[in-house]
Amino acid sequence: MSFPILSFVTFLPLLGAILLMFIPKDKKGALYTISLAVAFITFAVSLLLYFNFDAKTADPQFVEKGAWLGYGINYHLGIDGISLFLVLLTTFLMPIALLSSWSYIQERIKEYLIFMLVLETGIIGVFLALNLFLFYVFWEAMLIPMYFLIGVWGGKRRIYATFKFVLFTMLGSLLMLVAIFVLYSTYFKATGTYSLDLFDYYQMGLNPGLQIWLFLAFSLAFAIKVPMFPFHTWLPDAHVEAPTAGSVILAAVLLKMGAYGFLRFAIPLFPDAVTKFLPVLVILSLIGIIYGGLMALIQKDIKSLVAYSSVSHMGLVMLAVFSLNLEATEGAIYQMLNHGLSTGMLFLIVGILYERAHTRLIKDFGGVSKQMPVFSAFFLIAMLSSVGLPGLNGFIGEILCFFGIFSSSRLFAILAISTVILAAAYLLWMFQRVMQGPITNEKILSYRDINKREIGYLVPIVVMMFWMGIYPQTFLRKMDASVTQYINRIKSKEKVFVLQPKSPADKPVKAKETKPR
Amino acid sequence: MKDIFWLIPFVPALSTLILVLFGRKLPKKVVSWQACLSVFISFIIALISFFSLLKTPPESYPIVKNLFTWISAGSFSANLSFQFDPLSAVMALVVTGVGFLIHVYSVGYMAHDKSYTRYFTYLNLFTFAMLILVLASNMILMFVGWEGVGLCSYLLIGFWFEKHSAANAGKKAFIVNRIGDAGFILGILFIFLAVGSSEFTAVNQAVLGGLIARGGATLIAILLFIGATGKSAQLPLYIWLPDAMEGPTPVSALIHAATMVTAGVYMVARMNLLFTFSGTAGNIVALVGALTAIFAATMALTQNDIKRVLAYSTISQLGYMFIGCGVGAYAAGIFHLYTHAFFKSLLFLAAGSVMHALSGELDMRKMGGLRKYLPWTYPTFLIGAIAIAGVPFLSGFFSKDAILTQAYAQGQYFVWALGLMGAILTAFYMFRLIFLTFHGKERLEPEAKKHLHESPKVMTIPLAILAFFSIVAGYIGLPVVLGKKVNIFQNFLEPVIPPASEGHLSMGMEWTLILISVVVALLGIYIAYVFYLKRPGIPHSIVRRIPGVYKLLYNKYYVDEAYNAVIVNPLIKGSEIIYENFDLAVIDGALNGSASATGFFGRALSALQTGYVKDYVLVFLLGAVIIVGILLF
C-alpha cells in the first residue's frame, strides 16, 4: 500500500496538538511556531492531493480502508471532486486563521492552539470519511473544540452563544445518528451483512416511506449546519461571540459541512424523499437568500451583518444544490469555496478592526479609510468578492448557480438574483458607514494601518480570489467527473437493490421494491 | 496586424497593475506619464486596428480573438474572447481617444490632490474595463466590463470619500446600477437557454435563423434594456447620475458623459437584430428614451449647479441616443453617442476649468461675466454649447437631426415631438448656463475673485482639441438628403447595423424637418438670451407666477424622496420589524423558552436554560439508543 496521504492530512494536526501539550504554556513563540509549521505542512501535503488527483475518475481516490471495530464499522477515507477543494480550503485557511490569532488571543494560548488543530482534524475527517460511523465520529468530534473556542475565547455573551450553538447542532446530529442506525439495520436485514459503507448504501433501494423519515433526520442536521432558514439564529450569535479565527473557520468551512452533507449523504441516499421535499427545501433556500439579505441590511454589529450575509449566500448555495443539475452543483461547490474565501476574509477584516477599536458596532466607526488606506484596499476587495464582482471569484460561482437554477426554474432564478442587489446594498452601506465619511470618533486617529503580518495572511486570499475569478478551469475541471456521477446517481430513478454488497465494483442487481414493514 | 486589437484593453490594465503594486513609491511625474501614455498606446493600437479593419472585407467581420475558455460547466460556457468590427472600432476609438485627452487634462486638474496616484489607478482601471466592455465577443465577458466600469464609477464618484455626500453618491450609483444589472443577468440567462451560447455572432444567427420566438425576443430585449436604463441613466433608474457629480470633474466628463453611461446604448446597438426583430422592445426603448430626454431636460432648467445642469443634459442626450436605437436608426444613435462624447466631455472639462478658476465654485449664481478672465475656457465652452444645442454645421446638429428625422420617418410622431420639445429645452438651458456663467454682471465671491486665473496648458489644450472635434466630427455623417454616399459613418457601420427600413420621406419633408430643428435650436437660444441677458427679470416673474411648477422642477420632481419613501425606508423598517419580531422573538424565543413561546416546547426548553447542556445531551442520547434498540431488534 502506498503512503496513506489522507490519514496523514487528517491526523497531522491532531499529532501537532498532542505535541503542543508538551510545550510550556508561556512559550508563545514555540507554540505558534509548532502549530503554524503543522498547519503549513498539512497544507503542503494536501496540495499533493490536488496535483495527483485524477480528474477523469469519479470515484473516491487515495482510498484508505481497513477494519476497525467490526460490524461494518470500518476506517474508510477517500476524496473525490466534491470534497477535494473543501479539504484544500480547510488546509489553506488554517495557517491564515492561526496567523490572525497572534495578537488577538492573549490568554491560554496553548489551549487555544491545541483546540484549533484538533478542530482541523475534525473538519478534514468529515470531508474524507466514507464510512457513516466514522463520519459521525468526526462530525461530533469537531463540535468539542468549537464549543471551547467560542466558550473560552469568545466575547461577553459567549456562554449563551455556545449554548445555542451546541443545542442546535446536537439536536440535528442526534437525529442523524438515529437515522444512521436505521440505515444500518435496514441494510443488515436486507443482506445479512453489516455495513456502514456509504457506497453500499448508495446501491441500496429504500422504500419511499422510510426514505422520508431518514431524509428528514439527515436534512435537519445538515440544514442547521448550513444554516438554512429558519434554523439560522445560532449563527449570528456564534459569530459575534467567537474569536476572529473561530469565526473564520466557522463561516469558511463549518457551514460548508452542511451543504456537503446534502451532496454526499442526504440527496444521493434518499432521492425519492428529495423529490418529495424539493418544494419545501427550495422555498426555504429562497427565503434564506432574501431574508438573510434583509436582515444583514439592518444589523448594527459588523460581525452579525457578515453572519446574516452568510445566511443569504448559503441560501443561494442550497438553492443551487436543490436544482439538481450539473451546472448548479458545480456552481454550488464553487460558491462554497468563494464564500469560504470572501466571508473568511471579511471576518479577518472585522477582526483587524476589532483589535484596534475593541468594538464592532458600525456606529462607532466612520472614515477609517483615511487612517488605514492599505487596510481599506483589502476590505474593498473582500467586499467586492462577496458582492460577486466579475473578475473576482464570487462571480463565477454566482453565474453558474444562477444558470443552473434558471435551467430548473425561471421563477426561482428571478427571485434568487435579488441577492445581487441586496448584497451590494448591505455591504456597500456598511463599508460607507465604517470606512468612508469624515472621522467623527477621535479614537480612530490612533488606529495604525495593517502591519506586515496582517498583510501577509490577507494577500494569499486575495491572490486566490483573483485566480478563481480569472481562471476557474483550475478548479472546475477537477469536479466534473464526480459531479456528473453524482447527478447521474440521483437522476437514475431506478430502484435498485443490492444482493451481494461485497465490493462497490459489482453491478447492483435490480430487485423489487422492499415493502414497508 | 489584423488581430492585435485584443491588446487594446491590456495596456491600461498593465498600467493599473503597476500603479497598484508600486504606485505609492513612484514619483508623481512617472505616474502621470505612465497613466496617460498607456491610454495613448491603446489609442494607437485602436487606430492601427481600425485601418486594418478598413482593409478587411466586411464578409469576414467580426474579427475574433479567442484567448482561452474562461468558465465552463456542463452546457454553460464563456470564453475570454474579443471581437473587432466597425461598432467596436468606433467605441474603442472614442474611449481611448477622448479618454486620453481626459487623462491629460486630469494631470493639471488633479495636480494638487493628495491621492493623485489613486486617482490615476482608478482612471486606468476604468479605461481597461470600458475597453473590455466594448471589445468582448460575448455577453458574459461584456458583463465583466459592464460591472468593471460600474466599480470604477463607484470608486471615482466616492473619490473624496471623506465627504458624506460623495460616499453616498458612489454607493447609490452602484446599488441603482445593480438593479439594472439584475435584469441584464436575467436577459443573458434567457439568451443562453435559447441559443446555447452568449457569443454575439451566435445570438445574431439565432435571431436571423428564427430560433427565438418573437415573444421571447421581446422579453430578452426588455430585460437587457433594464440593464441599459441603469447604466445609461434612463427612466426610472436615472437617479444616480446627478449625484455622481460628486466625483472629480474629469471623471464626470469621461465616465458620466462620454463613455460609461453610453454603454447601454452600445449594448442595445450591439443587439440591434434582437431589438428590431422584437419590434415591441424597440418601441419601448424609443418611448423611454423620449420621455427621459424631455423629463431630464426640464430638470436641467432650474438647476444652479453648473455640473448638475450638465448631468441632466447628459441624461437627456442619452435619451436621444435611445430614441435613435428604438426607432431602428441604431447608426444614428451611435453617431450621436460619438459626437456627444466630444461636446459633452468638452462641456464638462470646460466646466471643470471654470471651477478650477473659481477655487471650486459650482454655483452659477456666484459666477457671471467670466468670459474676459477665461480666454480659452469661454470660447471652447461656447463651442460645446452650440454643438449640443443643435445649431447647424456643428457636430451635435447632424447627429440629433439624424435621430429626429428617423423618428419622424418611422412614423413615431409622438417620440419625434417629445424629442423636438427636448431640443428647444436643451438649447435654452445650455445658453442659460453660458449667459449666467460668462456674461452679465459679475457675482463672484471676493475671495474667489482674488485667485481667479485661466487653467494651465495641460488643461486648455485638451479643451481646444475637443472643441475642434465638436465642430468637425459631424461631417462624416451628413444627412441622407445630401446623397446616400455622404453618410460615411452609417455606411461604415452597415456590416453590424443593417440600415433602418427606409422611411418614406420626400426631399421636401426632409428639408422641412431640418429647418424645424434649426428653428427650434435658435429659438431656444434666443429665449435664453432674452431671459438672462436682455430682461433678466423675466425668470423671477415666471417663478413668482408659477411657484408650484418651479418648486417641482427645482426639487427634481421629488423622485429621490419618493423612492426613499416607497422603497428604501419600508424595506429597512420592515426588516427591522421582522428582525425584532421574528428572528429575535419567535425563533430565539422558542429556543430560549421565553414568554412568547408557550406550551410544551417552551417549557421543555426553558428547563434547559439552567445551562445543563450535558443533562440534555444525555437524555437525548438515551432516547436515541432506545429508538435504535427498538428498530434493530
| B144 vs A contacts (CB less than 8 Å) | 390-391, 395
Choose between B90 and A499: higher pLDDT: B90
Q: Measure B628 CA to nearest chain A CA, in Å.
A: 6
Assess B74–A contact: CB distance below 8 Å, yes or no: yes
**Which of A:222-281 have CB within 8 Å of B?**
230, 233
Higher pLDDT, B580 or B605: B580
**How close, in Å, is residue A4 to chain B by CA atoms?**
32
pLDDT band per the 50, 70, 90 thresholds, residue A516? very low
What one-character-per-residue DSSP string does B87-152 give? HHHHHHHHHHHHHHHHHHHHHHHTTT-TTHHHHHHHHHHHHHHHHHHHHBSBHHHHHHHHHHHHHH
Distance CA B507, CA A200 (A): 84
pLDDT at A515 over 50: no
DSSP assignment of B339-359 equals: HHHHHHHHHHHHHHHHHHHTT
Q: Which amino acid is at B323?
A: I
Q: What is the pLDDT of residues B245-298, one digit of tens each?
A: 999 999 999 999 899 999 999 999 999 999 999 989 999 999 999 999 999 999
Min CA distance, A298 vs chain B (Å)? 6
Percent of chain B with pLDDT over 90: 60
The three-class DSSP label of residue A200 is helix
- Predicted confidence at residue B623, as pLDDT, reads 58
Q: Cβ contact (<8 Å) for B148 and A181?
A: no
List the single residue in B185, B572, B617 with the smallest CB-CB distance to A420. B185
Following CA atoms A288, A293, A297, A299 in sequence, which dihedral angle do they give, to the nearest 10 degrees? 40
- Mean of pLDDT over chain B: 88
Residue A181 to residues A68, A134, A186, A269, B236, Cα–Cα distance (Å): 17, 13, 8, 14, 59
Q: Which residue has the cell 458582492?
A: A387
Selected residue with higher pLDDT from A509 and B39: B39
Give the C-alpha separation, A335 to A476, whole Å: 11
pLDDT computed for residue A154 by the predictor: 83
Identify from B71, B164, B601 which residue to disrupt to test chain A contact, counting A C-beta atoms within 10 A and taking the largest count.
Answer: B71
CB of A440 less than 8 A from some CB of B: no
Interchain CB distance below 8 Å, B591 and A164: yes
pLDDT tens digits, one per residue of A398-415: 999 999 999 998 999 999
Chain B CB contacts of A431 below 8 Å: 171
Dihedral of alpha carbons A258, A260, A261, A263, sign = positive
Residue B628's pLDDT band, with cuts at 50, 70 and 90, is low
pLDDT tens-digit readout, B125-181: 999 999 999 999 999 999 999 999 999 999 999 999 999 999 999 999 999 999 999
**B residues 135..154 contacting A (CB < 8 A):** 140, 143-144, 147-148, 151, 154
> Quick check: A456 contacting B, CB < 8 Å?
no
Average pLDDT over residues A370-384: 94
SS (H, E, C) A446-491: HCCCCCHHHHHHHHHHHHHHHHHHHCCHHHHHHHHHHHHHHHHHHH
**B117/B24 Cα distance (integer angstroms):** 7
pLDDT in tens, B557-573: 888 888 888 888 888 88
Mean pLDDT of A470-486: 93
Q: Indicate which of A136, A213, A417, A482 best probes the interface with B, i.e. most B CBs within 10 Å of its own CB.
A: A417
* Partners of B73 in beta bridges: B76
Percentage of chain A beyond pLDDT 70 is 95
From B301's Cα to the closest Cα of chain A, the distance in A is 31
Across the range B455-477, mean pLDDT stands at 91
Pairwise CB contact (< 8 Å): A295 & B575: yes
Give mean pLDDT, residues A297-326.
Answer: 94
Q: Which amino acid is at A93?
A: L
Q: Which three cell numbers stand for residue B201?
A: 455572432
Rounded to a whole number of angstroms, the distance from the CA of B69 to the nearest CA of chain A is 8
Q: Do A169 and A224 meet the contact criterion of CB atoms below 8 Å apart?
A: yes
Q: Is B116 within 8 Å of B34 (Cβ atoms)?
A: no
Here the cell at position B501 is 427600413
Q: Given this model, what pLDDT does residue B621 score?
A: 56
Cβ–Cβ < 8 Å for B332, B370 = no
Residues of chain A found within 8 Å of residue B616, distances taken between Cβ atoms: 167, 170
Q: How far is A130 from chain B (nearest CA, A)?
A: 22
C-alpha cell recorded at residue B618:
444525555
- Which position has the grid cell 483550475? A474
CA distance A432 to chain B (A): 6
d(CA A378, CA B138): 30
- Nine-digit cell string for A451: 502591519
Q: Tell me how far apart the alpha carbons of residues B161 and B583 are, in angstroms, rounded to a whole number.
A: 34
The Cβ-side half-sphere exposure at B324, using a 13 Å CA radius, reads: 31
* Predicted ipTM beyond 0.85: yes
Give the number of other Cβ atoms within 10 Å of residue A433's Cβ. Answer: 18
Nearest residue to B32 (alpha-carbon basis) of B110, B95, B97: B110
Of the CA atoms within 13 Å of residue A386, those in its CB half-sphere come to 36
A159 and chain B: CB distance < 8 Å anywhere?
Answer: yes
Query: What does the pLDDT read at residue B596?
Result: 36
CB contact under 8 A, B611 and A325: no
Contact between B362 and B305 under an 8 Å Cβ cutoff? The reply is yes
pLDDT tens column, B182-205: 999 999 999 998 898 999 999 999
Partners of A197 in the beta sheet?
Answer: A131
Beta carbons of B575 and A390 less than 8 Å apart: no
Cell of B307: 455640473
Q: Which of A326, A399, A404 sits opposite B71 (nearest CB)?
A: A399
Q: Which residues of B257-268 are buried (b: 16+ CB within 10 A; e: fewer)?
A: bbbbbbbbbbbb
Q: CA-CA distance, B328 to B407, in Å (whole number)?
A: 8
Determine the distance in angstroms separating the CA of B200 from the nearest CA of chain A, rounded to an integer: 18
pLDDT value of position B594: 37
How many CA atoms lie less than 13 Å away from A464 in the CB half-sphere? 21
- A260: closest CA among A126, A405, A169, A138? A126
Between positions 407 and 436 of B, the ones with CB within 8 A of A are none
Task: Name every chain A residue with its beta carbon within 8 A of the beta carbon of B151.
Answer: 384, 389
pLDDT for position A497: 40
Single-letter amino acid code for the residue at B622: L
Per-residue pLDDT at A203 exceeds 50: yes
pLDDT, position B499: 77
Tell me the pTM.
0.91
3-state SS, residue B502: coil
Residues 160-189 of B with CB under 8 A from A: 161-164, 167-168, 170-171, 174-175, 178-179, 181-182, 185-186, 189
Instruction: State the residue for C-alpha cell 431640418.
Output: B514
Q: Spell A100-118 as b/e; 16+ CB within 10 A means b.
A: bbeeebeeebbbbbbbbbb
Nearest Cα to Cα of residue B326 among B228, B192, B208, B230: B228
Q: Is A420 on the interface with B (CB under 8 A)?
A: yes
Write the pLDDT tens digit of every residue in B23-70.
Answer: 888 899 999 999 999 999 999 999 999 999 998 888 888 889 999 999
Residue A493 reports pLDDT greater than 70: no
pLDDT given for residue B199 in this prediction: 93
Are the beta carbons of B339 and B399 closer than 8 angstroms? yes
Residue in A277, A268, A261 with CA at minimum distance from that of residue A317: A261
Q: Is the peptide bond before A230 cis (omega within 30 degrees of 0)?
A: yes
Tens digits of per-residue pLDDT, A216-269?
Answer: 999 999 999 998 988 888 898 889 889 999 999 999 999 999 999 999 999 999
Question: Which residues does A451 contact at the CB level (< 8 Å), separation at least 6?
Answer: none
A60 touches chain B (CB under 8 A): no
Look at the block and give the residue holding cell 445650455.
B430
What local confidence, expressed as pLDDT, does residue A104 receive? 83
The Cα of B401 is separated from the nearest Cα of chain A by a number of Å equal to 38
Which segment of A182-191, A263-272, A504-513, B64-73 scores lowest on mean pLDDT?
Answer: A504-513
Mean pLDDT, to the nearest integer, of B81-104?
94
Chain A, chain B: beta-carbon pairs less than 8 Å apart: 159
A3 touching chain B per CB within 8 A: no
Q: Which residues pair with A77 in a beta bridge?
A: A64, A129
- Which residues lie below 8 Å from residue A51, measured CB to CB, with a gap of 6+? none
A44 in contact with B, Cβ within 8 Å: no
Give the contacts of A54 (CB within 8 A, at least 6 positions apart).
Answer: A61
Residue A287 touches partner B, C-beta closer than 8 Å = no
Residues B334 and B346: beta-carbon distance below 8 Å: no
Nine cell digits for residue B160: 473624496
Confidence bin at B501 (pLDDT 50/70/90): low
Q: What is the pLDDT of residues A40-64, one digit of tens each?
A: 999 999 999 999 999 898 899 999 9
Q: Which of A402, A418, A429 sits opposite B171 (nearest CB)?
A: A429
Q: What pLDDT, on a 0 to 100 scale, did the predictor assign at position B595?
A: 33
Collapsed DSSP state (helix, strand, coil) of residue A6: helix
Residue A446 has what pLDDT?
87
Nearest to A180 by CA among A194, A168, A165: A194
Give tens-digit pLDDT for B377-404: 999 999 999 999 999 889 999 999 999 9
Q: How far apart are CA B146 and CA B132, in angstroms?
A: 8
Task: Give the B window 559-618 contacts with A, CB below 8 Å.
Answer: 571-572, 574-576, 578-579, 583, 587-588, 591, 608, 611, 613, 616-617
Per-residue confidence (pLDDT) for residue B538, from 0 to 100: 87
Q: What is the pLDDT of residue A503?
A: 43
Quick one: how many helices (H) and strands (E) in chain B? Answer: 29, 2
User: Could you state, in order of their start, the residue ranges of all structural domains in chain A?
Assistant: 5-497
For the stretch B302-345, pLDDT in tens is 899 999 999 999 999 999 999 999 998 999 999 999 999 999 99
pLDDT, residue B598, reads: 38
